Amino acid sequence: SSSLWYLNLLDDWLFYREGKAIKRIKTDGSRVDTIFGMGYVLDLHLIDNWLYFIFIEDDSKVYKMTVNGEELQRVINKGVSDIAIYNNQLYYSYIEGETAYLKTLDLKDGEEKLIANLHIRDMILQDNIIYYIDGNNNKLYQYNLITGRLEKLTEVEITKFLWTGKGIYFMGKGEEEFVHPGKGLYKICLDGKGIEMINDNLFM
């Protein structure tokens, strides 16, 4: 069976990607609809009855459509590597030539702004701070949207991470003595202090 990705909940509908389709299922399991079936998508986000996503089949441009699968339209007319939505702003990152960009699109008035020249992937936004993996060195960083301060949180390479209010969990990638290559679940404090091994046999 196919894996389910990017779960989003609205009222009694659960939205997700399965294979090359975006689907929705009633929370009681009574009905399943395919609302988009044109190819693979990434980073499915739900806000104000609109679904936003990266459409791989169209060179990773950003699209949106209603939760009923209607009014499909392109939002960002360039290939992007990552998107996130925070405070009615669509944050998106991309590479052009040898330069990396992080920009925002105001979902209300359509205004676009350059935030910083950062090579960002897997970003998570919390309290005006972007947590992300740097696309050049695979290390975890945080960028303060208010002060513009950039801080590296790990010296080790990571593959995935999860932000929680009590700390950041991540999967190791590098060959450092403490973090086993390609496996293991670890935790650090939100300020990057106090690395802790949770499980050294967990693979992702």
Alpha-carbon distance of 184 to 109, in angstroms, equals 44
pLDDT of residue 203: 45
Give the Cα separation of 37 and 19 in Å (integer): 9
**pLDDT of 202 over the 60 cut:** no
Q: Are 59 and 42 in contact (CB under 8 A)?
A: no
CA 175-129-143 angle, to 5 degrees, is: 55
Q: Residue 38 is inside which H or E element, if any?
A: none
pLDDT single digits (tens) 46-67: 999 999 999 999 999 999 999 9
pTM of the model as a whole: 0.85
Q: Find where tokens 């740097």 sit.
A: 134
Write the CA distances from 152 to 2, 126, 142, 203, integer angstroms.
36, 16, 6, 24
With cut-offs at 50, 70 and 90, classify the pLDDT of residue 12.
very high
Nearest 10 degrees: CA dihedral of 155, 156, 157, 163? -80
- Look at residue 92 and tell me whether its pLDDT is greater than 70: yes
Torsion of CA 15, 57, 77, 87, to 10 degrees: 20
* Closest alpha carbon to 169 in 190, 151, 186, 152: 186
Write out pLDDT tens, residues 179-189: 444 567 888 88
Proportion of the chain in helix, strand, coil states, percent, rounded to 5 = 0, 55, 40
Kindly indicate the confidence band of residue 99, based on its pLDDT and cuts at 50, 70 and 90: very high
Q: What is the DSSP letter of 45?
A: E
- CB-facing half-sphere around the CA of 26: CA atoms within 13 A: 5
Please provide the size of the chain in residues: 204
Average pLDDT rounded to a whole number, residues 60-78: 97
Q: Would you say residue 1 has pLDDT above 50?
A: no
177 pLDDT exceeds 50? no
- What span, in angstroms and rounded, lies between the C-alpha atoms of 179 and 32? 42
d(CA 196, CA 44): 31
Q: State pLDDT tens for residues 17-44.
A: 999 999 999 999 999 999 999 999 999 9
Residue 2, pLDDT > 60, answer no
Average confidence score pLDDT of the chain:
89
Instruction: Give the Cα-Cα-Cα angle 115, 62, 105 (nearest 5 degrees).
Output: 35
Written as one letter, the residue type at 90 is L
pLDDT of residue 186: 84
Report whether pLDDT(82) > 50: yes
pLDDT at 14 over 80: yes
Percent with pLDDT over 70 in the chain? 91
Q: What is the pLDDT of residue 5?
A: 78
More confident residue, 154 or 177: 154
